[in-house]
Amino acid sequence: MDYNQLSFQLAAVTRHAGQFIRQEAATFNRSHIETKGVHDLVSYVDKETEKLLVAGLREVLPEAGFITEEGTEGANRAEGYNWIIDPLDGTTNFVHGLPVYCVSVGLIHHDELVAGVVYEVVRDECFRAAKGAGAFCNEIPIHVTDVPDLNSSLIATGFPYTDFGKMDDYLQLLGAFMRRSHGVRRVGSAAADLAYVAAGRFEGFFEFNLNSYDVAAGILLVREAGGRVTQFLEDGDPLFGRQVVASNGLVHDEMQSTIREFWKE
């Protein structure tokens, strides 16, 4: 299968879904918010966007199944190929009118990432990657930075909002990164964070308690842009491992070493 060509089709479907989100953002009313858990928000925009994506992706690759955030009816996992969909990564940002939220879709073949797109809606930036074909933003090639050390790096992270059991470890870890880098940023969308590492806007990103649909496309973007992605303390599978460290590769060992000082499994 030509994964590069497939990623072009994926980008078109993702852009179409993003247009719907952009349209709804203009008139969105907070009374339409639902709660999946403590501080875990969802709206009709998330659900309708996912339906659009499922319908469009079925035309691109009919035999593929789905791993979705919102559980669209009939979107079930299959053998072989599966789309991993986050229809609106950064829902809280969207609800509050903060202009950083993305559509994120990755494609796996037997758990190997082979294509991915992160579409940042407000900036109209489409980050695309395919296995062995590189990474692009609006079809311009992107690459991770060549910054050699953590001290000269800008780092991104995400703050826990539902699971606070690791809060003490996390706050110590956050403090260490603040002291040892140019700064730490919290954008509010893991998909955007990973795309920004791939595009050279951040040198690194770390976060825990993530789902596969938060990171699938972004992991491939970073790798195809020349970076490295692992779990916190080892080179385990970050796609389903619930924790991610992504970097330009050059600062990765320093990031993992810093995490190792404060993080307890």
253 annotated ligand binder: no
Element housing 56 (H / E): helix 44-60
2 annotated ligand binder: no
Element housing 205 (H / E): strand 204-208
Measure the N-to-C terminal CA separation of the chain; round to a whole number of Å: 39
40 annotated ligand binder: no
- Do 25 and 94 touch, CB atoms closer than 8 A? yes
Nearest CA to 189 out of 156, 150, 140 is that of 156
Alpha helices in 127-211 (DSSP H): 167-180, 190-198
69 annotated ligand binder: yes
Q: Give the integer Cα–Cα distance in Å for 48 and 37.
A: 20
46 annotated ligand binder: no
Q: Which residues are annotated as a binding site?
A: 69, 86, 88-89, 214
Q: Which residues are annotated as a binding site for Mg(2+)?
A: 69, 86, 88-89, 214
